Amino acid sequence: MVHVDLLTKFIDTYPIFLKGMLLTFQLTIVSILIAIVIGLFFAFLKISNIKILEMIANFYIFIVRGTPLVVQIFIFFFGLTALNISDFWSVVLGLAFHNGAYIAEIFRGAIQSIDRGQMEAGRSLGMTRNLAMRRIILPQAVKRALPPLGNQFIIALKDSSLASFIGMYELFNVATTQGSIKYDYMSYLLIVAVYYLILVLVFSTIVSFIEKRMATSD
């Protein structure tokens, strides 16, 4: 009987949850795309062998690792909305700022795992350091970075639930709001868990597909 009641609630509320899932998906995708750019930038700073640039990258990563994500989101939200930047972009930039640090370490590790002889081979063919990095090192590094990047994407998806704390009507906020209205938190938390599992499955499938395509291209 409980299963039937839960299924009924799932069907009755799916339009609301689908709207929340769309916002969660948008927050995750946009923030991850920006985080990849941030991550690459700080990864290059870390491997630049220029002390001041390494220190800047290390300080950024230290700040992100040393403070809770929810605090970072609140700082971006109250800081950027005061400048008339929308709630959506405030949260996106907060999530991107956070994930960028972890992606920077993923890219740094992947780049440094490529044998130095690859760079020397490119330079011996007349390539500049930047050209050799772009054409030889980075393509290989991206392939090695893809599995941990996939994990970081999934973490970012789940972390987007913290947007509910500043009132964004994403998946988790939908669940808690419905639970409050219907006085039944458990049912709606179980329902939202299913939606998160669906999104994680979609992300995992996409990453797995990209990995296989890259392996085939080898």
- Model confidence, pTM: 0.89
Domain that holds residue 145: 2-217
* Among 66-80, 150-164, 180-194, 203-217, the least confident range: 203-217
Q: What pLDDT is attached to residue 145?
A: 87
Task: Give the span between the Cα atoms of 179 and 188, in whole angstroms.
Answer: 6
pLDDT in tens, 35-65: 999 999 999 999 888 899 999 999 999 999 9
pLDDT in tens, 177-207: 998 888 888 888 998 999 999 999 988 888 8
Number of independent structural domains in the chain = 1
Task: Give the CATH number of the domain where residue 173 resides.
Answer: 1.10.3720.10
